[in-house]
Structure 1
Amino acid sequence: MSTGTASRYIGLMSGTSLDGVDGVICEFSQDRPHRVTAFASLDFPASLRAELLALNTPGDNELHRAALAANALSRVYAQVVQALLSQGGLARADIRAIGAHGQTVRHRPGAFDGTGYTLQLQNPALLAERTGIEVVADFRSRDVAAGGQGAPLVPAFHLDWFGGSGRDIALLNLGGIGNLSLLPAGGGASGFDCGPANALLDHWCQRHTGRNYDADGAWGAGGRIVPALLESLLQEPFFSQPAPKSTGRDLFNPGWLDARLGSFMDAAPVDVQATLAALTVQAAAQALLGAAPGTQALYVCGGGTLNGALMQGLAQALPGIEVASTEALGLPPQQVEAAAFAWLARRCVERLPGNLPAATGAAGPRVLGAIYPA
């Protein structure tokens, strides 16, 4: 590819898993293929992770704390940008713009007043100052203003990057929350959030083992699924709601889980972990089979791909459907969402729509994002 005809964008993603920041440099070319040329990841400092998690629920002095957390997050973003530039041997002038998602702390589209809101903490102005690169941020609010969910935004990216396979395929992102993108062989795309993923698994693991996550799902794999508990969890009305729909920690949080444990409080913690893994698998599998029963292959991305128990569970729950990570499509699973926000930044800079109304429910295509010049 000639770099003279390509534009470079950085994408930064910190998701509901609250584990840290993933960043990529993407080269986009009119004559394809697009490609990722650098990847960097940085864990959150423990204090920042704890504060971002706390800000997901109402608390004292929220405005002050949120502003400082946004500053701290933007400094981490700037560190990732510097790591990417160093890895790629690039100067800031080589990057057209940074697409920075921010950290979702509340997501209530359509609620309260008919419009609702979605809130991603960050300080894009500070990021522009720290990096000297144009920043595109606030991708979700315009879709919400147009009557949409503001999520998921990745189906439009998945269609552009992975579409045209000639098969009915789907992509499943297993971050803190799971979301599906459906790419039929005939073209087009749709998608929706399908339920919890790492948010509940990580919480339960941390509560009972002191570790931030269950590496490879090994702890949960040593437990037994509690069928009655799984059935109870699957009764959550969100699972039967029609698309478009989205969710987050506003629903699937420790309070939601504790309220549903009820008579199962005597279950061994490891068995609850096994059941939560089964919930993630069953919610995704049932959603996929209900929306696109002819799917031939499911490609998984996000941190959940590192959980062998989840990947094995999906393969067992979807017989006859190929289940693999997006590595099989040429993009490593930890890079997919960051690449999506590089793509969305480019769409904003070029004044092109970034949402997919079939996925979000918005009134129509909209240019997403707010620009903070270098």
Structure 2
Amino acid sequence: MPGDRRMRRAIGAISGTSMDAIDVALVETDGLAALRPLGGGAFPYPAALKTALIALVADPARAEHDPLAEIEAAVTDAFADAIRAFLAGAGIAPDDVDLVGLHGQTILHRPERRFTRQLGDGARLAAALGIDTVDRFRHADVAAGGQGAPLVPLYHAALAAGLDKPLMVLNLGGVANVTYLGAEGTILAFDTGPASALIDDAMRRHFGRAYDSGGAVAASGRIDGQRLAMLMADPFFAVPPPKSLDRNHFHARAAALAPLSPADQVATLAAFTIESVRAALDHVPAPPARWLVAGGGRHNATLMHGLATALGVPVEPVERVGWNGDLLEAECFGYLAMRAARGLPLSLPGTTGVPAPMPGGRLHRARR
């Protein structure tokens, strides 16, 4: 397959740091510029498994050192069920899919120690589905000294080939990341700070809800400027990119919001996301004239309005240019699976800080 440039069908599957669902998407691509998204969907984790994963992410020592064979098998089986459900709903036979890109579930990301861990067993998934599967997308990059994230920039660049530049693509998942696409082909990418993870945690803790629907709770609260400044004093923001974050990086600082009312906590955390995104402008060659926003955070009106005010340029959901903001990351891992199978780079020095363009992924052949 390395020298093959035919269009093939690949499924991408990922659950983000917010763990709200398993996202599955199908793309047809050659792993280069030829690209056609073919739909997808979101499939919730079984409730008990999600609870177990949340507890695991909150225990970094266990996430790093324990074998976790049982929970990894459960995660892999949940991904298999999600992919089967998507295929059945779309009327697609497994034999009509050439490849699966299994990102899996990140439970710990420590690139400064050259360590990253995603749950998801490609060999088990390939056997369950009868489809060749690529996993371990981040490991080669991290082992070579890269940040291992974000990995979406090459996909963003392929999608945005016909759009005016400079352009910023912002993903508001659990953690926020940006891709800067320059007018002369420059591609830069980095995590900017929190997106929805801290807000979601506060909503679960205080309101028993998974997220702040529409940003209504944030809009009802007051921003504590002093505590916001304390959050923005984190040394991460001064570090030049490429750089990436673990979901729990800001938890210790965010604990200082405890004296505030629940609504004021959520309002201050939303302002933290907005201000940390604005700080990303300190690290790009020229301010973009437009921001396109993907991820669940684009449905949060308080975040979107605040970003437009802070950035002073159009801030629009990616649907404005015909992309599917709920499926971009899943589509990306279908695209990257094809690149991995063909020996093409998944990351660049400007996207993860890896010393040279870096191939990656581990291919597991299915027995059909």
Same fold (TM over 0.5): yes
Residue 281 in structure 1 maps to residue 283 in structure 2: no
Specify whether residues 248 and 91 from structure 1 end up closer, same or farther in structure 2 by C-alpha distance, changes over 3 A only. Answer: same
Contact preservation (8 Å) 1:170, 1:295: yes
Paired with 1:91 and 1:61, the residues of 2 have a C-alpha distance of: 36
- Could you tell me how far 1:144 is from its partner in structure 2? 0.9
Q: After the TM superposition, which of the residue ranges 309-318 and 62-71 deviates more from structure 2?
A: 62-71
CA RMSD of aligned residues (A): 2.0
Residue 107 in structure 1 maps to residue 109 in structure 2: yes
Specify whether residues 5 and 89 from structure 1 end up closer, same or farther in structure 2 by C-alpha distance, changes over 3 A only. Answer: farther
Paired with 1:372 and 1:99, the residues of 2 have a C-alpha distance of: 10
Aligned to 2:9: 8
Q: What are the equivalent positions in structure 2 for 1:17-166 lying under 5 Å apart?
A: 17-28=18-29, 34-56=35-57, 57-58=59-60, 66-111=68-113, 116-166=114-164
Aligned to 1:317: 310
- Could you tell me how far 1:64 is from its partner in structure 2? 6.0
Aligned to 1:352: 344
User: Among 247, 251, 257, which residue is 1:249 paired with?
Assistant: 247
Which sections of structure 2, spanning at least 5 residues, go unmatched?
none
AA partner of residue 219 (structure 1): V
Aligned to 2:260: 267
Aligned to 1:331: 323
Specify whether residues 236 and 123 from structure 1 end up closer, same or farther in structure 2 by C-alpha distance, changes over 3 A only. Answer: same
Residue by residue over 1:247-296, the C-alpha shift from the partner in whole angstroms, topping out at 9 and shown as x without a partner, is: 0224133x4421x33xxx43211011001001001101121354244301
User: Among 337, 349, 363, which residue is 1:371 paired with?
Assistant: 363
Specify whether residues 51 and 30 from structure 1 end up closer, same or farther in structure 2 by C-alpha distance, changes over 3 A only. Answer: closer
Paired with 1:289 and 1:110, the residues of 2 have a C-alpha distance of: 22
Q: TM-score, normalised by structure 2?
A: 0.93
Which sections of structure 1, spanning at least 5 residues, go unmatched?
none
Paired with 2:32 and 2:134, the residues of 1 have a C-alpha distance of: 24
- Could you tell me how far 1:51 is from its partner in structure 2? 1.4
- Could you tell me how far 1:38 is from its partner in structure 2? 2.3
AA partner of residue 135 (structure 2): A
Paired with 1:201 and 1:119, the residues of 2 have a C-alpha distance of: 24
Aligned to 2:293: 300
- Could you tell me how far 1:191 is from its partner in structure 2? 0.7
Residue by residue over 1:161-186, the C-alpha shift from the partner in whole angstroms, topping out at 9 and shown as x without a partner, is: 21342321010111110001000122
Aligned to 1:342: 334
Q: What are the equivalent positions in structure 2 for 1:153-192 lying under 5 Å apart?
A: 153-192=151-190
Paired with 1:127 and 1:252, the residues of 2 have a C-alpha distance of: 33
Specify whether residues 275 and 41 from structure 1 end up closer, same or farther in structure 2 by C-alpha distance, changes over 3 A only. Answer: same
Paired with 2:289 and 2:248, the residues of 1 have a C-alpha distance of: 33
Q: Residue 247 of structure 1: SS of its match in structure 2?
A: coil
Residue by residue over 1:210-254, the C-alpha shift from the partner in whole angstroms, topping out at 9 and shown as x without a partner, is: 11111111111111111111111110111111111100224133x
- Could you tell me how far 1:26 is from its partner in structure 2? 0.5
Paired with 1:190 and 1:332, the residues of 2 have a C-alpha distance of: 22
- Could you tell me how far 1:62 is from its partner in structure 2? 7.7
Paired with 2:43 and 2:286, the residues of 1 have a C-alpha distance of: 38
Q: What are the equivalent positions in structure 2 for 1:202-213 lying under 5 Å apart?
A: 202-213=200-211
Q: Residue 68 of structure 2: SS of its match in structure 1?
A: helix
Q: Residue 102 of structure 1: SS of its match in structure 2?
A: strand
Give the percent of matched residue pairs that are identical in Structure 1 and Structure 2.
Answer: 39
Contact preservation (8 Å) 1:180, 1:288: no
AA partner of residue 225 (structure 2): P
Q: TM-score, normalised by structure 1?
A: 0.91
Paired with 2:63 and 2:240, the residues of 1 have a C-alpha distance of: 37
Aligned to 1:200: 198
Contact preservation (8 Å) 2:138, 2:361: yes
- Could you tell me how far 1:325 is from its partner in structure 2? 1.0
Contact preservation (8 Å) 1:9, 1:25: yes
Q: After the TM superposition, which of the residue ranges 21-30 and 299-308 deviates more from structure 2?
A: 21-30
Q: After the TM superposition, which of the residue ranges 27-36 and 181-190 deviates more from structure 2?
A: 27-36
